[in-house]
Amino acid sequence: MRLLIIGTLNGHITEAARIAKAKGLSVSHVETIGPAISFLRQGGADVIFIDVTLDIWTFVKSIRDERINTPVIACGIGHETKLAVQAIRAGAQEYLPLPPDTDLIAAVLGSVSTNEAPLVYQDPVMAKVVKLAEQIASSDASVLITGESGTGKEVMAHFIHEKSKRSQSSFISVNCAAIPENLLESELFGHEKGAFTGALARRIGKFEEADGGTLLLDEITEMHPRLQAKLLRAIQEREIDRVGGTKPVRVNIRLLATSNRNMMQAVKEGTFREDLYFRLNVVAIEIPPLRERKNDLVILAKHFVKKYSEVNGLDSKELNQEACNKLLVQTWRGNVRELENVIHRAVLLCESNIIAGCDIHLPQFDVSADISPAHTQLSNPAVDKNVEGVGRTVAEVERDLIINTLTHCSGNRTHAATILGISIRTLRNKIRQYRDEGIKVPDGQLDQAS
Ligand SMILES: Nc1ncnc2c1ncn2[C@@H]1O[C@H](COP(=O)(O)OP(=O)(O)O)[C@@H](O)[C@H]1O
Ligand SMILES: [Mg+2]
């Protein structure tokens, strides 16, 4: 992942850059907004840290007008609370207090990052899939990776890139579902100066950024039909047209795409072009849901325990047998992503070095198909606990849960949001609402502000 840092931040920048580099990011640095915008037009970054004292509003507005979609994180020294709130209002996604804290940087990067996780597996079912991926990795054929949400499609795409002849070149990923249509066109193909109001200069799109390397089109079924046509042309002709461009640009890329929908169904329904489907589907890799490869559960869980202990600067922890058993009987509708979240919470909540069954908080409504809902209601400890809540509104229970979790985390909002399974922004909004209602909320980094 590529990080662009804008500003000087009283020298804290060096330390933030060092931490980011240690996490495997490539870091670029400019001191002011002008050069930053030029840098981004050249196709430069996946995430931006900007000094909170700079004019964030103008910066965010300028890049969004130019349809540059890179997430912006404001950074300030310690409790520059007012500036932090202003930064968020000006369009920054998050506020990161400095001097930089390794955990927080990791959490913030985690919230915006594309996937560069290693592919962990053990189950023979998965081993077969990985073997196929290895066999086809070195060719330049397009690959369509399908599977339920959270099964590891992006991880697999990155794995294929790493095993390919292009591994030394860039791996660029675009989430087609997360970006509105008009932005996506610029994002993929770039644009020329004057192509639309706000197009103040030429911008290089992801196709050109990925030149010589691999381009992953994530959740491709969400792409608008008009762009599907443009994409098809790009694949067939091996050249692209920048928005507002007059002559095509040649590109040399290997294309990977993912979808969690049944593509044939989308073709039948007319939402996805059949010719594009056949172009992409030269090789098909289907990732089985986690429930069909139970032998991966414990090894993945251990991997996440290690990862989140390190990320949060905690001593190494072990899963005991009871905890493993609890994981093994779960259905995991949200697949590996859900397992990862459960383990992340367990690591944060567990107070000793042994993660026991009681540290594993399973999602309430994930039940095995063969257990009736009534039975689940009785047997699910998460539900049992909440019986005390009968007679109270959802809003009240939610408020208490949020405040108790914040108290548990000594006001650390990043940790609290992770445990609660909500975004930092949602948590921040809730806190603001409670404060407005005159409710006392435990102090954290931004506290006096809201
Ligand atoms: N085999 C795996 N080994 C390690 N981590 C994995 C594996 N599969 C998925 N993950 C993790 O689970 C999460 C979801 O994976 P992702 O590739 O984004 O899923 P999808 O794209 O299918 O929704 C990511 O955080 C990823 O790192
Ligand atoms: Mg995905």
Closest-lying ligand to the alpha carbon of 153? 1
Say what the pLDDT of residue 367 is.
41
Q: Do 2-112 and 291-387 agree at the fold level?
A: no
CA 187, CA 181: separation in Å to the nearest integer? 10
Q: How many Cβ atoms sit within 10 Å of the Cβ of residue 374? A: 8
**In this structure, CATH architecture of domain 391-449:** Orthogonal Bundle (1.10)
Say what the pLDDT of residue 254 is.
97
Say what the pLDDT of residue 114 is.
52
Ligand 1 atom, smallest distance to 151 CA: 22
CA 152, CA 248: separation in Å to the nearest integer? 35
Say what the pLDDT of residue 94 is.
81
Closest-lying ligand to the alpha carbon of 146? 1
CA 399, CA 25: separation in Å to the nearest integer? 37
Ligand 1 pocket, mutate which of 154, 162, 216, 298 (most atoms under 8 A from CB): 154
Closest-lying ligand to the alpha carbon of 111? 1
The token pair that represents 187 in the structure block? 């994002």
Spacing, Cα 141 to ligand 2 middle (Å): 21
Say what the pLDDT of residue 24 is.
79
- Tell me which fold the domain 124-288 belongs to: Rossmann fold (3.40.50)
Q: Does domain 2-112 have CATH number 3.60.10.10?
A: no
Which residue's alpha carbon is nearest to atom 12 within ligand 1? 337
Spacing, Cα 115 to ligand 2 middle (Å): 8
Positive or negative: CA dihedral 332, 336, 342, 343: positive
Spacing, Cα 7 to ligand 2 middle (Å): 32
Q: Which residues surround ligand 2, an ion (CB under 5 A)?
A: 154
Distance of CA 177 to the CA centre of its chain: 13
110: nearest Cα among 97, 93, 123: 93
Spacing, Cα 39 to ligand 1 middle (Å): 31
104 within 8 A of 236, measured Cβ to Cβ: no
Q: How many Cβ atoms sit within 10 Å of the Cβ of residue 237? A: 12
Spacing, Cα 297 to ligand 1 middle (Å): 13
pTM equals: 0.75
Tell which CATH classification among 3.10.180.10, 1.10.579.10, 1.25.40.390, 1.10.8.60 matches the domain 291-387.
1.10.8.60
Question: Quick one: three-class SS letters along the chain?
Answer: CEEEEECCHHHHHHHHHHHHHHCCCEEEEECCHHHHHHHHHCCCCCEEEEECCCCHHHHHHHHHHCCCCCCEEEEEECCCHHHHHHHHHCCCCEEEEECCCHHHHHHHHHHHCCCCCCCCCCCHHHHHHHHHHHHHHCCCCCEEEECCCCCCHHHHHHHHHHCCCCCCCCEEEEECCCCCHHHHHHHHHCECCCCCCCCCCCECCHHHHCCCCEEEEECHHHCCHHHHHHHHHHHHHCEECCECCCCCEECCCEEEEEECCCHHHHHHHCCCCHHHHHHHCCEEEECCCHHHCHHHHHHHHHHHHHHHHHHCCCCCCEECHHHHHHHHCCCCCCHHHHHHHHHHHHHHHCCCCEECHHHCCCCCCCCCCCCCHHHHHHHCHHHHHHHHHCCCCHHHHHHHHHHHHHHHCCCCHHHHHHHHCCCHHHHHHHHHHHHHCCCCCCCCCCHHHC
Say what the pLDDT of residue 449 is.
35
Say what the pLDDT of residue 372 is.
33
Tell me the one-letter amino acid at 273.
R
Ligand 1 pocket, mutate which of 111, 171, 336 (most atoms under 8 A from CB): 336
Spacing, Cα 336 to ligand 1 middle (Å): 6
CA 74, CA 141: separation in Å to the nearest integer? 40
Ligand 1 atom, smallest distance to 145 CA: 22
2: nearest Cα among 96, 150, 109: 109
Strands 214-218 and 318-319: unpaired
Residues in the chain where the model's pLDDT stays below 50? 366-387, 445-450
Say what the pLDDT of residue 447 is.
40
Say what the pLDDT of residue 416 is.
86
Strands 249-250 and 239-240: antiparallel
Say what the pLDDT of residue 290 is.
97
Domain ranges in the chain? Answer: 2-112, 124-288, 291-387, 391-449
Tell me the one-letter amino acid at 209.
E
Spacing, Cα 268 to ligand 2 middle (Å): 23
| Pocket, ligand 1, Cβ cutoff 6 A | 115, 117, 119-121, 147, 149-155, 258, 300, 303, 336-337, 340
Say what the pLDDT of residue 116 is.
66
